Amino acid sequence: MTKRERVIAAMNNQPVDRPPVGFWFHFKAEQSKGQPCVDAHLDYYNKIDVDIAKLMCDGYFDYPNPVAKSVKEAKYWYDMKPLGADSPFVREQVERAKAVKAGLTSDCLILYNVFAPFSTLRFGAGNDIVMKHLREDPAAIAYALDVVAQDNAVLCELLLTEAKIDGVYYCVQGGEKDRFTPEEYTKFVTPSDLAVLERANKFSDCNVLHCCGWAGIPNHLEVWQNYPAKAINWACFVENVDLTEGKKFFGGKCVLGGFDNRGDSLIVNGTKEEIQAYAKELVAKSGTTGIMIGADCTLPGSIDVNRIQWVVDAVKEL
């Protein structure tokens, strides 16, 4: 099978010659934008024999909407308008995806990281002010999330139709158990989550939902349980939910993960023998149908990428 064929088959719970493998990490600050960012992606994906090339949105976490950057009172959210398809925030990410795709020397399935609006808004305005205004005037934040959703949805559309990547790796956050109740999340955040994901689904059947455990705090996974994505990735070690349990929880959908991504984890510190033994055990336990091997989230940027190749080599031996 080609890499792309292998990933698509896994996403559809069809037989594969072996489970696909995909790992990623944030690049150095000086590689966050422009040609240095393109080169960093290609240096990695053209060296290490993974099946998935997940392109990072480094340099575009900070939503550059002028209202989000300056808002002090909740009422001013209503002044916010979408940046639009021609904004640098959208255009530069589309051009990045085009350039990386053009430079890849293998047939990896290509995903691009897109954050859900709640994260984008927090990155732009700051977590504290968004949460404060959400408690004071939920309708104002709902309006702002709708604006961000318009930008993130058009970004997805252009990545898929113009850059012609295979799918979106859609990162949802904010479900931490100390932030919202499930009912609050569903009321305040879910509509904007789905507005973007459903737009992406109009143009691709290869979108991955990433239920991010960035804070190290367990999430209310149930709020994302029925989101319409082809494959699901979550923080197995934060949530204490392994691939087998998660596959059942998410309705039998394809699942991605199995390795802890944190700095003290096996893939960062273990020996080659330990890492390869774990990879083989992971497949033996989880099976080969509808399973893709990866990590809970991004690996530390300082990781020796040869450690990732050790995982690929181990899975190839099965």
Give the tens place of pLDDT for each residue, 227-260.
Answer: 999 999 999 999 999 999 999 999 999 999 999 9
Let me know: does 223 contact 190? Beta carbons within 8 Å.
yes
For the chain, what percent of residues have pLDDT higher than 70?
A: 100
Strands 291-295 and 208-211: unpaired
| Average pLDDT over every residue of 210-219 | 97
In this predicted structure, what is the pLDDT of residue 8?
98
In 3-state terms, what secondary structure has residue 204? coil
What is the C-alpha separation between 198 and 89, in angstroms, rounded? 21
pLDDT tens digits along 58-71: 999 999 999 999 99
In this predicted structure, what is the pLDDT of residue 85?
98
In this predicted structure, what is the pLDDT of residue 54?
98
What is the C-alpha separation between 215 and 193, in angstroms, rounded? 19
What is the C-alpha separation between 174 and 57, in angstroms, rounded? 19
Q: What is the mean pLDDT of the chain?
A: 98
What is the C-alpha separation between 8 and 157, in angstroms, rounded? 20
Q: How open is the CA angle 86-91-92, to the nearest 5 degrees? A: 145
Let me know: does 88 contact 60? Beta carbons within 8 Å.
no
Which residues neighbour 12 within 8 Å (Cβ) at sequence distance 6 or greater? 230, 254
What the block records as the tokens of 253 is: 């959908």
Burial of 271 from C-beta contacts in 10 A (0-12 / 13-18 / 19+): exposed
Q: Which residues of 286-310 are buried (b: 16+ CB within 10 A; e: fewer)?
A: beebbbbbbbbbbbeeebeeebbbb
Can you give the pTM of this predicted structure? 0.97
In this predicted structure, what is the pLDDT of residue 135?
97
Length of the chain as a residue count: 318
In 3-state terms, what secondary structure has residue 68? helix
Taking Cα atoms as reference points, which of 84, 195, 63 lies closest to residue 129?
Answer: 63
pLDDT confidence band for 22 (50 / 70 / 90): very high
Taking Cα atoms as reference points, which of 63, 74, 222 lies closest to residue 149?
Answer: 63
Fold of 28-261: TIM Barrel (3.20.20)
In this predicted structure, what is the pLDDT of residue 199?
98
